[in-house]
A and B are shown apart, each in its own frame.
Chain A
Amino acid sequence: MIHSLFLINCSGDIFLEKHWKSVVSQSVCDYFFEAQEKAIDVENVPPVISTPHHYLISIYRDKIFFVSVIQTEVPPLFVIEFLHRVADTFQDYFGECSETAIKDNVVIVYELLEEMLDNGFPLATESNILKELIKPPTILRSVVNSITGSSNVGDTLPTGQLSNIPWRRAGVKYTNNEAYFDVIEEIDAIIDKSGSTVFAEIQGVIDSCIKLSGMPDLSLSFMNPRLLDDVSFHPCIRFKRWESERVLSFIPPDGNFRLISYRVSSQNLVAIPVYVKHMISFKENTSSGRFDVTIGPKQNMGKTVEGVVMTVHMPKAVLNMNLTATQGSYTFDPVTKVLTWDVGKITPQKLPNLKGIVNLQSGAPKPEENPSLNIQFKIQQLAISGEWGILHEIGAGRTSWCRK
């Protein structure tokens, strides 16, 4: 099981170590640094590294490497999932998962790690339970603690720990009972030069914020559950009811959590809400080229496309780019050859356009590569898959609503 954990920042300093069995020397991380050096880009460090006596399984989150040391055969996914859970917990407790946040709260971090893992076996990873054992730091509490001398460590056994619904604590009370559901959908699409879709799928999640008293039992149904190709559920959802009636029925945890994540794939014809007109060409023997890109919205029920950012990995031979944007601003990094264009909102009347001259290294052969354009955008209030949920609530006796 998980032997030790090292937290390493981008500059290669080990700023925290925790051992659940015998102490493993820091020098084991040298193998990791070696791999890191080889990978050039931080994101390309392989997640599983073998060393003569140990295995290092690492994740990269928020500019921190979480490197765990393993000595026996364990499922690597288990370790990776756990490490992500650790990062999530830090995020949850400190608002951000950064080196400073961890250093500022090192004692809580240590207490948390001790609570989450025992002898390498996960002990308590549910945020609800952890928060009962170790209270998250707030300014008010630290002031109170310093005056009264009380601590932020709970001294009773968390109630949820052993019940059949370990994710919810007992005795929750709110004056305003409310529940929010955020449906966030991401389209992942590869579109070829001519504009036809090679591959597209929707990754959707429903993130919930439930503030309801007592033990509410909720159910949520879909307009068209058949659209969903695959779903992953929070453990609170009753699988049997989903199987038989396609209804999400659950007793929710208290607070923020991810209710389900789902996938709708290209078989169901995912409509891409934007289009791109592009003209990128390099002339033979002139060491220059032309670049002309226009982004426009497709019909999307009158919703505006916002936060549009385009990134292009230009060929290596490109020295510089001289462009003018009708909207937003662009930057070109001559080292990594990445062009970033921050467009902002698209107004259908005046489509954003970026065009100009590309300067190539003199003497270099005409680049053959077709740079891939990566476009990110956001559309509020639109679910591409057309999923709308209807929520019923049993127990709390109040109507709730969905937010998209």
Chain B
Amino acid sequence: MTDSKYFTTTKKGEIFELKAELNSDKKEKKKEAVKKVIASMTVGKDVSALFPDVVNCMQTDNLELKKLVYLYLMNYAKSQPDMAIMAVNTFVKDCEDPNPLIRALAVRTMGCIRVDKITEYLCEPLRKCLKDEDPYVRKTAAVCVAKLHDINAQLVEDQGFLDTLKDLISDSNPMVVANAVAALSEIAESHPSSNLLDLNPQSINKLLTALNECTEWGQIFILDCLANYMPKDDREAQSICERVTPRLSHANSAVVLSAVKVLMKFMEMLSKDLDYYGTLLKKLAPPLVTLLSAEPELQYVALRNINLIVQKRPEILKHEMKVFFVKYNDPIYVKLEKLDIMIRLASQANIAQVLAELKEYATEVDVDFVRKAVRAIGRCAIKVEQSAERCVSTLLDLIQTKVNYVVQEAIVVIKDIFRKYPNKYESVIATLCENLDSLDEPEARAAMIWIVGEYAERIDNADELLESFLEGFHDESTQVQLQLLTAIVKLFLKKPTETQELVQQVLSLATQDSDNPDLRDRGYIYWRLLSTDPVAAKEVVLAEKPLISEETDLIEPTLLDELICYIGTLASVYHKPPSAFVEGSRGVVHKSLPPRTGSSESAESPDTAPSGGPAADQPSVIPTQGDLLGDLLNLDLGPPVSGPPMATSTVQMGAVDLLGDSLMGGSGGSFTPAPSTTAPTNVGAPLGSGLGDLFDLTGGVGTLSGSYVAPKTVWLPAMKAKGLEISGTFSRQVGSISMDLVLTNKALQVMSDFAIQFNRNSFGLAPAAPLQVHAPLAPNQSVEISLPLNTVGSVMKMEPLNNLQVAVKNNIDVFYFSTLYPLHILFVEDGKMERQMFLATWKDMPNENETQFQIKDCSLNADAVSSKLQGSNIFTIAKRNVEGQDMLYQSLKLTNGIWVLAELRIQPSNPSFTLSLKCRAPEVSQYIYQAYETILKN
């Protein structure tokens, strides 16, 4: 009585027979028939022809039959959309069933039927189920939203299901919370910009509570979601870590690894001096080791991740070397990974053990593994200097075995050891030369030839050896040919008398008889060098080589940091960021580790740590009307103020800077205040000094939001730059200016080695950091970069004033373009002038410095205008109402210390504003006006 009987009907009229059985009156027979249909389906047989008959069986009280029919529907509804509609009524009815199991089943199945017409009917029942009294139904419905989103994203948004789903994060039942998180994560993954999972301390708290109570799978979803959160300070990070740590003891290894991810990420924020930091490090090691006792597949994934962790924080596992020793019955993929980690953990303390192990491995059976083991010995020699001698002698022992592939690998690594420790182990060359004949792999031959060429003066028969290689020159691979060419040239330079013939022979072979352009080019270069200037040739060919280091096989730090954020995911298995391999261009968000707070920087000025919400109080902007009126009337009577205000002292700027940095999460470059000495005289140098203390510091940090950012425009079209298109804009956020670039590769070849440089400009704008494009840019790919700028570059007045000439270099060429930057990126945060000072300065400046502009078609009211401008660091000092007109008095300061004072007249009925600007350097006024206009009109 087993199900295998369902597979046995292979007669011709199978479908016909099933049809008859499905339409039978007997319930039992019907069920058996449906089972047969399902059985056929499981092996991929097409039974879609039975669709109407199976659907007819749906109306039943028998739950098993119902489930079976549902299974069938999910598989075949797509191929029979019209027929599938027949099922809708039953679904809708089932969604009202008193039994929660049936309600959930119905909504679950409906979500799996990927037919547009059905999804329309799904909305109402789904809405009800999302608010169902039974948590089982709610949690099923949460997943259903994700299903529906996959089929019809617009529908889900229109129906407001996303909001309902967000509400479910605060559900009382942890299972519902977990499923809602899972569904939201999945939706967010396909819409990275949607910001669905905006986490705040409250929601984090709810998630952490649910974490303790939900199922293991739910814990994985919640932990992965937590890992995306950016705690606001180290205390919060620590408290999250404390609550996540118990997950390390979970039996499910995926939970453990997700917990490790959260801890590794948040640990970044903890200060290393903290006791808790040390405790956490200790707690991380045992679970990681335990992962290695699981099934080999789990071990493999765990090892790939441990490889990353060991590179990021070697201290965690430094005492656990032995657990990575290879067991003879490990699958090969586990063995290779273990070997890699062993080398990373090798240090002076454990090198003896490691070498003994590696030597054993080198006599194993599996060729791939043996090769890697031999290579590992070489890497140990390079990594741990004290062990180099032992490694070399181990390698020599291995060469004595004469096992072909062992010898070849050994020679390849000995070449590297020579590079690392020149003039130390050359005594072994004789032994190496004995094995010349057995080398048949290009890499080993090339390595050997390199050694012979490099040490030609110590090898008596170097010319004979190289000559023997030369015989079969054309059959060699390119790698060997190139190496041979170079080696013989080296030999010639060292022993010119005996080898003239040889070098001529190789040069003619390389240049005349070869069709490989690389080889030919190299041959010609050598030829010309030798024929024109042998001394120069010697300098070039026998130049001192830089030492190699073990870092060559490490993952690049920025990539490593990104990969740490992806622990436990596919990215960590491939050691590539998801953007490099995830299907489609669904704009994967780059993740980065949180910055370490509590570092020396904020330790110096603890007050600036963002401990309690907005850092500084907003100064009261608007004085009472009478006051100001009086002041204005008394302008002439007021006490004369000597000199205009001056750039603030560096101490104050430093404070602003620190604050800005910590609030920004340290992602931008730090903003350096322009020292007054660099202020260009031709733009109008500020006069006087010593008034900095009058300056209202708090006003400077009042606004924390960034200033207005114009949409990106194309600066450099692809056709002008061999396929590289650059578009961009400028932005200013809490004290740092940045240039936001999008580089798009529209050519057919990969672009790399990007660099950027600015020409001298009016305000000394210069890149604060090199242009960082981590991976080569593949064709049709684009990359977004935010380049931090500072204003300490050299200054030259440009025409127009805000003109910026930029040079961008890549592996193809250097390209130039120029762009105009909006002046408001130069408005500093402390550009708020004290009221008294404003009046005095206004009065002090000659009238010819005043310029008037009209800002047309602006419908904002005075308050909106002033708040909008404040966002871009134009500060309203006072506002008053004169005859129905609003007058705004404003000040701003440029990075080079130039103050600009403004009076903005707004008439309620008139959409045109009148802007009067007064400045000691009237040249800038026009550009300030442009800035006003862009800010107000956007």
Contact = CB atoms under 8 A, between A and B. Distances in A.
Nearest to A155: B63
Interface residues of B, number: 107
Contacts of B135: 162
Interface stretch (B214-222, B747-755, B767-775, B787-795): B214-222
Interface in B519-553: none
Contact of B44 (A14, A41, A242): A14
Contacts of B451: none
Contacts of A123: 140
Q: Classify the secondary structure of A's interface with B.
A: mixed
A142 interface: yes
Nearest to A79: B254
Contacts of B327: 188, 190
Interface in B301-343: 301-302, 322-323, 325, 327-329, 331-333
B107 to A, nearest CB: 10
A77 B303 CA distance: 11
Interface in B180-233: 182-183, 186, 189, 213, 215-217, 220-221, 224
Nearest to B291: A77
A365 interface: yes
Contacts of A166: 175, 215
Highest count of chain B CB atoms <10 Å: which of A1, A17, A146, A235: A235
B289 A71 contact: no
A23 B286 CA distance: 41
Interface string A288-329: 000000000000000000000000010110000000000000
A261 B289 CA distance: 13
Interface in B258-303: 258, 286-287, 289-290, 293, 295-298, 300-302
Highest count of chain A CB atoms <10 Å: which of B2, B332, B568: B2
Nearest to A243: B246
Contacts of A152: 64
B310 to A, nearest CB: 18
A263 B289 CA distance: 9
Given A110-B38, A369-B365, A122 B286 contact: no
A352 interface: no
B585 to A, nearest CB: 14
A121 B401 CA distance: 54
Interface string A125-157: 110000000000001001100100101111111
Interface string B1-28: 1111011000000000000000000011
A239 interface: yes
A230 B42 CA distance: 42
A355 interface: no
A374 B329 contact: yes
B234 interface: no
Contact of A162 (B3, B173, B353, B571): B173
Interface stretch (B84-92, B356-364, B850-858, B910-918): B356-364
Given A104-B3, A105-B2, A142-B1, A231 B249 contact: yes
B815 to A, nearest CB: 34
A287 interface: no
Interface stretch (A43-51, A218-226, A388-396): A43-51
Contacts of A149: 27-28
B415 interface: no
Q: How many A residues are at the interface, by size bracket?
A: 35 or more
A50 B328 contact: no
Given A76-B301, A110-B42, A44 B258 contact: no
Nearest to A54: B583
A76 to B, nearest CB: 5
B164 interface: no
Interface string A11-39: 00011111111110010000000000001
A149 to B, nearest CB: 5
Interface stretch (A169-177, A196-204, A379-387): A196-204
Interface stretch (A111-119, A209-217, A274-282, A342-350): A111-119
A133 to B, nearest CB: 8
Given A75-B220, A114-B67, A119 B328 contact: no
Given A19-B75, A81-B253, A370-B363, 9 more contacts: A14-B44, A55-B570, A60-B297, A80-B295, A106-B4, A230-B289, A232-B250, A265-B323, A369-B365
22 contacts: A41-B331, A44-B332, A47-B301, A77-B302, A105-B2, A107-B6, A107-B68, A111-B64, A119-B147, A121-B182, A155-B63, A192-B356, A198-B322, A230-B249, A230-B286, A230-B290, A232-B250, A233-B250, A260-B251, A261-B251, A315-B365, A316-B365
Interface of A: 1, 14-23, 26, 39, 41, 43-44, 46-48, 50, 53, 55, 58-60, 70-78, 80-82, 84, 100, 103-111, 114, 118-119, 121-123, 125-126, 139, 142-143, 146, 149, 151-157, 161-162, 164, 166, 188, 190, 192, 198-199, 201, 203, 229-235, 239, 242-243, 258, 260-261, 263, 265-266, 313, 315-316, 365, 368-370, 372, 374
